[in-house]
Amino acid sequence: MKNTIINILLIITLLSFYACDDNDYIFTEEDFPIVEAYLIPGKPINHVKLSKLIPFLSKDTLSYAEPISNLNIRILLGNNTYELVEKIDSAGWYYFPDTKMLVAENQEYSIELTYNEKRVSARTFTPEKPVNFELSQNLFYIERMEEGDMPTFDVQTCEVTWDNPDGSYYYLNIELMDTVIDPVNYMITDTITQTLTSPVISDVYNITSRNMRYYGTYRVILYKVNEEYAYLYSTTSTTSQSLTDPYTNVENGKGIFTAFNTDTLFFEVKEY
């Protein structure tokens, strides 16, 4: 999840500053902060990143995010204020040093800081853990296909379900846990061991045996995310040929301040 958010933020931020035409570069001299921060109920506050975009000067020099250090950053919950400190070995990364203070669910949090004499702020709501997250089966038996074998047309389906009475956004991460991969089909030569779905308003997802590429133990993580994350994800459909402003919920800045909650289940894929 951490890498997913970071990659999305980097892509959409860079896309907002250049076009695809080799002779038409768009960049800005404006200096504003880029916030990359999320909260996880039951975890300490340890993922707040501040940076600024350094625009490219030619087609051979790409933009990059430069860390912003030595800022006073506050996380607020009601009347409580949590002053963050910068990580010693990671410029631009901030955290709350008391690891016993855990993020609570179903609460509104705010982030505040001052940059270039402007108040930068954002708010988010921490969702509750997914409810009644279930798999209709936790075991697939799949026949191994060797060279010369006829393909099997037997398809098994595992229905993944959860409650969603309030129309929230969810997405799934399905990943193989085994470090040594064992393909179910001799023609599979890649190492794609993870499937990520898009954030959608739903309460069901189907995993079929045709999607299973390897034998082993799989982990299914269900993420309940806020609207701002779903909007951010949809911004990645922006291309350099069709530029739109990237979504942000940060006032006087760019980026995202959001929260998510998860639940995890497992299933096995075994050979007949």
Assess whether 211 and 244 both reside in one domain.
Answer: no
The mean pLDDT value for 127-131 works out to 97
Assess whether 233 and 174 both reside in one domain.
Answer: no
Alpha helix positions (H), the chain: 2-15, 227-235
Q: What does the pLDDT read at residue 56? A: 54
Contact criterion met (CB below 8 Å) for 222 and 172: yes
Assess whether 118 and 35 both reside in one domain.
Answer: yes
Q: Which domain holds residue 184?
A: 134-222+264-271
Quote the CA–CA distance of 102 and 41 in Å, as a whole number: 7
Assess whether 182 and 124 both reside in one domain.
Answer: no
Q: pLDDT per residue over 52-93, tens digit each?
A: 976 654 455 555 679 999 999 999 999 999 999 999 999 999
Assess whether 87 and 114 both reside in one domain.
Answer: yes
Q: What does the pLDDT read at residue 146? A: 85
Number of domains in the chain: 2
pLDDT over 60 (residue 271): yes
Assess whether 16 and 35 both reside in one domain.
Answer: yes
CATH number at residue 213: 2.60.40
Assess whether 24 and 103 both reside in one domain.
Answer: yes
Confidence of residue 235 (pLDDT cuts 50, 70, 90): confident
Assess whether 146 and 123 both reside in one domain.
Answer: no
Assess whether 109 and 192 both reside in one domain.
Answer: no
Assess whether 196 and 179 both reside in one domain.
Answer: yes
Q: What does the pLDDT read at residue 15? A: 46
Confidence of residue 162 (pLDDT cuts 50, 70, 90): very high
3-state helix, strand, coil in the chain (%, to 5): 10, 40, 50
Q: At what angle do helices 2-15 and 227-235 cross, to 10 degrees?
A: 50
Assess whether 155 and 203 both reside in one domain.
Answer: yes
Residue labelled with tokens 């600024």: 52
Quote the CA–CA distance of 240 and 19 in Å, as a whole number: 5
Contact criterion met (CB below 8 Å) for 214 and 269: yes
Q: What does the pLDDT read at residue 25? A: 43
Percent over 90 (pLDDT), the chain: 68
Confidence of residue 19 (pLDDT cuts 50, 70, 90): very low
Q: Which two tokens stand for residue 218?
A: 């799989």
Percent over 70 (pLDDT), the chain: 81
Assess whether 106 and 156 both reside in one domain.
Answer: no
Q: What does the pLDDT read at residue 9? A: 52
Q: pLDDT per residue over 172-222, tens digit each?
A: 999 999 999 999 998 888 889 999 999 999 999 999 998 899 999 999 999
Handedness of CA 99, 91, 72, 30 (dihedral sign): negative
pLDDT over 60 (residue 14): no
**Cα separations in angstroms, 172 against 35, 53, 54:** 25, 31, 34
Quote the CA–CA distance of 249 and 121 in Å, as a whole number: 9
